[in-house]
Every structure is written in structure tokens, then in C-alpha cells.
Amino acid sequence: MKKISLLTILAMVVSGAALAQEGEVSWKSTELEPGLYMLEGVGGFAGGNLGLLTGDDGIVLIDNGLSNLAAMTVASIEKLTSDPVNFVINTHAHGDHAGANAAFTKTGATVVAHDNLRRALLADKEFDQRGIPELTFNDSVSFHLNGHTAYVFHLPSAHTDGDAAIKFTEVNVIHGGDVFFNKVYPFIDLDGGGSVDGFIAGQQAILAKADDNTRIIPGHGPLANKADLQSAVNMLIDARSRVKALVDAGKSKDEVLTANPLSAYENWSWDFITTEVMTNTIYRSLTTE
């Protein structure tokens, strides 16, 4: 993937406007359990990781990538199941996760999401309103299909104000949505209702549902396990306390950035969330609470 600017990626992630050209990008599927898949974008940025449950009782898709790649996404899913998708679960409102909702409601899918996510998408001028969630929940909702229980639970004020994670309880697989970026600094969308404290609490809530055998599909990054998520939350807790010590000492934002309190975590930096961006996000979240 070629290097793209922070602002471009930010625009892409939040609005779902895409850079990737159709034809270059595709979804690579991994069957984690019979009929249960993780799909990862390859050849460019297709969006966050997807989950797909197939079987005779119905098809459940978790997230669906960027709007302009919808035809490619539909075709990728048709390779795994000849049946149309019955339910789409949105982990949150960002365009790289919910961008292709309308391509699935068109063929009869019902979109299921947190109450706040529906509110966010109704207000989003870029979003194709034919893909609005028709079924919303406040705390949790469970699907009982194909011999699986998919327990969908809300994580308040974490990556956004409408996040959900999903646990397939019988097979010990979790989709964490963007409350988990594996091996890189997370994007915490403060303007979309997220917060650093809520993000940490959300990660801890997912950890509480995991054991050493749990496979965790992160919103972005490779398939993970409990230790990967533990290391992500440990990093964020320590990063928060390093910034907080400077805030408590009365340092200004510029002084905090100059002090570079996250220098030990440079290996978590990436194009979109550099150490400076992460420091800035933590500073902002701590000083507006």
C-alpha cells in the first residue's frame, strides 16, 4: 500500500470516501470455524476486517467496508455462500465499516446496530440512507443461528459513541470492531463520541470475555489473541498515565508534545496515528473530560 497522508486517511476513514481502486483491492477470507470467516482487505485499503457467519438458518455479516467497493465486497461474499445476507451488524458508524450497508439492504438484509450509530448515520450527509439500521439496541442483542450464539454488546464512549463487539460464544471467537487495532496505536474518534477512558474500559470488557484460546478479529490488523489485546490495553493505560502526569503538572499541550511522553511506544506508530497524534488525542481526551 502506498503512503497516503494523514488527512486523506482521516477523511477516508470517517466519511468512507475511498482511495482504493476497484480491481486492485480484494478480501482475503480465513475460515476460523466451519462457516465462520474473517475477511481482511488485501491489495489496498478495503475497510476494517469483516466477520461472516454462513449456514442454513441465515447469513450474518459483520461490517462491510467502503461504499465504492461494495460490488467487490458482495462478490467476495458470494464466493463463500450462495445465499443473500440476512443480517448486517455494524460495529460502528465509520465509512470503512458501514460504508456498503445499502448494497446489502438492497438484497433484503436487515442492518442491526447500536442506537447511537443509527443517529450518527441519519445525520451523515455522505451516507447512503438506504443502508440505515432498521433494528437497534441499547445494551446488547443476541443472534441464534446455525448452531451459534452471536452476542453483540455495546462498549460506551470507546472508539465512537456507538461501538459494539460480537462474541461467538460456542466457538470462542470475538470481533472487537475498532475498539481493537492490533499492533498499532488506535484511532479514538473524540468528535464521534469516543474517549480514551471509554476505549480502555471497552478493551477491558472484551478481555473479560476472552481466555487464552480466544481468537479475536480486530477492527484493523491481523487476527489476534488475548495476549495481543492485553498488550494493546497495557500500552494505552501506560500512555494515558504518562500524559496525565504532565497534564497534572500544569503542562500545556505544546509542552506535552515537546516532552514526547510516548517515546517508548514509537513502534506502535503508523501513517494515520503517529506518536504525536496519539499524544494529542490523549491530551485532548484528558483535558475535556
What is the DSSP track for 117-159? HHHHHHT-TTS-GGG--SEEESSEEEEEETTEEEEEEEETTSS
Residue range at the interface with Zn ion (CB under 5 A); choices 94-102, 107-115, 140-148, 232-240 = 94-102
Which residue, 14 or 150, has its beta carbon nearer to Zn ion? 14
Nearer to Zn ion among residue 86 and residue 160 (C-beta):
160
- Cell for 106? 438492497
Which amino acid does the sequence have at 171? V
Q: How far is the CB of 28 from Zn ion (least distance, A)?
A: 20
Give the total of residues touching Zn ion (CB under 5 A): 2
Q: Report in angstroms how near the CB of residue 177 gets to Zn ion at its nearest.
A: 8
Q: Shortest gap between Cβ of 189 and Zn ion (angstroms)?
A: 7
The alpha carbon dihedral of 243, 249, 251, 257 has a sign of: negative
- The smaller minimum CB distance to Zn ion, of residues 40 and 171, is found at 40
Cα(38)–Cα(28) distance, rounded to whole angstroms? 8
Which positions from 159 through 178 interact with Zn ion, judged by CB under 5 A?
A: 178
Closer residue to Zn ion (CB): 35 or 41: 41
Sheet harboring 60-62: ordered strands across?
A: 26-33, 36-42, 50-53, 60-62, 87-89, 110-114, 135-137
CA-closest candidate to residue 108, choices 64, 58, 157: 58
Stretch that binds Zn ion, among 60-68, 89-97, 131-139, 274-282 (CB under 5 A): 89-97
* 161/178 with CB nearer Zn ion: 178
- Provide, rounded to whole angstroms, the least separation between the CB of residue 128 and Zn ion: 18
d(CA 134, CA 246) in angstroms, rounded, equals: 45
Q: What is the closest distance, in whole angstroms, from the C-beta atom of residue 92 to Zn ion in the complex?
A: 5
CB of 147 to Zn ion, least distance (A): 30
Positions in 48-67 near Zn ion (CB under 5 A): none
Distance of closest approach, residue 132 Cβ to Zn ion, in angstroms: 18
* 3-class state of residue 67 by DSSP: helix
Tell me the window of 91-99, 196-204, 228-236, 238-246 that interacts with Zn ion (CB under 5 A).
91-99
In Å, the largest CA–CA distance within the chain is: 60
| Encoded amino acid at 19, one letter | L
Q: What are phi and psi of 134, to 5 degrees?
A: -100, -15
Residue with smaller CB distance to Zn ion, 196 or 256: 196
DSSP tag of 234: H
Question: Of 62 and 171, which has the nearer Cβ to Zn ion?
Answer: 62
Query: Interface with Zn ion includes 94 (CB under 5 A)?
Result: yes
The binding site for Zn ion (CB under 5 A) comprises: 94, 178
